[in-house]
Amino acid sequence: MAFDYDLFVIGAGSGGVRAARVAAGHGAKVAVAEEYRVGGTCVIRGCVPKKLLVYGSHFAEDLSDARRFGWMVPDCDFDWKVLRDNVLAEVARIESVYEDTLGNNKVEIITERAGVTGPQEIHLAGGRTVTARIILIATGATPDVPDVPGAEHGITSNEVFHLERLPKRAVICGGGYIANEFAGIFHELGVEVTQVIRSDKLLRGWEPALSDRLLAIATQKGVQFRFNTMPQRIDKRADGTIVLHCAGGKTIETDLLLWAVGRLPNSEGLGLEALGLHMKPNGAIPVDEASHTDLPWLHSVGDVTDRLQLTPIAIREGHALADTLFGGNPWVVDHALVPSAVFSHPPLASVGMTERQARDTLGTVKIFTTDFRPMKAVLAGRNERSLYKLVVDASTDVVVGAHMIGPDAPEILQALAIAVKAGLTKAQIDQTVALHPTMSEELVLMR
């Protein structure tokens, strides 16, 4: 049977773009359908604009610290629209680079929503139906919004990059990485931030020593936290004030409500159930380690499969699939020991097991910590201590986890993650001479 395409990708995000480009490079005839903007969540409304806002907001601290280093910095005004528009322009620039890359590789970009209407058959919102030997679902995830009356008065990370003006007060519902990142951004930009968290913990799943330290520093900076709290109803007054009604008659008033309570696999309306595919309860598409579904012509990568919702994972999954199906080079992505970060103020970064996980799975573990005030913070008069923690398998001396909070922790941890992934022992790390004076020298000096 002749098909219109060898590969049809639904979703031009991190995973879909990589799979499309690599498959086309292997000689396949490829099209990708995108209902919003080429680049997907990471480029358009995730990692990239978020990180640029983190940089932008950090100037508040840098400008204040600069005075202690002799710079006569006058009181500075901040113009949100300048930062916002420059960030959005950079996003548009990267989007066009993605489009050019796809075009140069002869991938057809179809700017329409797509669904699957039959085996190897795709229906486009514009009315066309096309066929493909292989269909790849790479539709990502969408922000979860709780089912409470008045939830529509809040926004999500989809809208937050486009705010017309900065609010005076913001409530951020959620305790995960996106919530903590935006709490830091808004707070640094002068917004009064309250974080409302359903449980009694920040950053569930992270090393508690790190999340406790973030809580202490953020509280000291002035971020307010309401734990064990969840709005049951939300109203909006005529003057624009948003009122969160919580259990026990408590209310919280704010000018902006940001929902950051999780992300759900984006599989609704694709038509997959009708084809006999059984989705996971949260909507994730079940796949094996090679990103194959139960249907031989259907594959899926990235957030919609809900393995690890990270850009580099989606990219690798897309690349591996394209090499496997079209390049005669089968390989699968190793999902173990993947480093990740929270770009809060200060940031966190982790790879491998927490102390608890190591004790549960390995039995005897050795823990090494260093808790210090970075040199720069001391001179700046900034009372923020960094914390690094190494988790070591006591029976083999192998470092099985590394966790850091402090300035540039994600930059430092990326390099350390190589050592952890390579299975180095604590003794091997200790053999490396310190690079002085740095913060990261602490990593080779922990005894």
Peptide bond into 149 cis (omega under 30): no
**CA–CA gap between residue 337 and residue 366 (Å, rounded):** 19
Residue 228 or 414 with smaller CB distance to ligand FAD: 414
Residue 17 or 390 with smaller CB distance to ligand FAD: 17
| 3-class secondary-structure state, position 162 | coil
Among all residues, whose Cβ is closest to ligand FAD?
13
**CA–CA gap between residue 196 and residue 175 (Å, rounded):** 8
Q: If residue 7 lies in a helix (H) or strand (E), which one and from where to where? A: strand 5-10
**CA–CA gap between residue 286 and residue 201 (Å, rounded):** 30
Say if residues 4 and 108 touch (Cβ distance below 8 Å).
no
Peptide bond into 437 cis (omega under 30): yes
Residue 214 CA neighbour count, 13 Å, CB half = 33
Say if residues 438 and 415 touch (Cβ distance below 8 Å).
no
Residue 261 or 398 with smaller CB distance to ligand FAD: 261
SS (H, E, C) 13-66: CHHHHHHHHHHHHCCCCEEEECCCCCCHHHHHHCHHHHHHHHHHHHHHHHHHHH
Residue 202 or 429 with smaller CB distance to ligand FAD: 202
Residue 313 or 392 with smaller CB distance to ligand FAD: 313
Say if residues 58 and 139 touch (Cβ distance below 8 Å).
no
Q: State the nearest-atom distance from the C-beta of 11 to ligand FAD, in Å.
A: 3
Q: Map tokens 């993947």 to a residue.
A: 338
Binding site for ligand FAD (CB under 6 A): 10-16, 33-36, 40-42, 46-47, 50, 113-115, 138-140, 157, 178, 266, 270, 302-304, 309-312, 314
Q: Is 345 part of the annotated catalytic residue set? A: no
Residue 207 or 303 with smaller CB distance to ligand FAD: 303
Beta strands in 228-288 (DSSP E): 231-236, 242-246, 251-254, 256-259, 263-265
- Where in the sequence numbering do the catalytic residues fall? 436
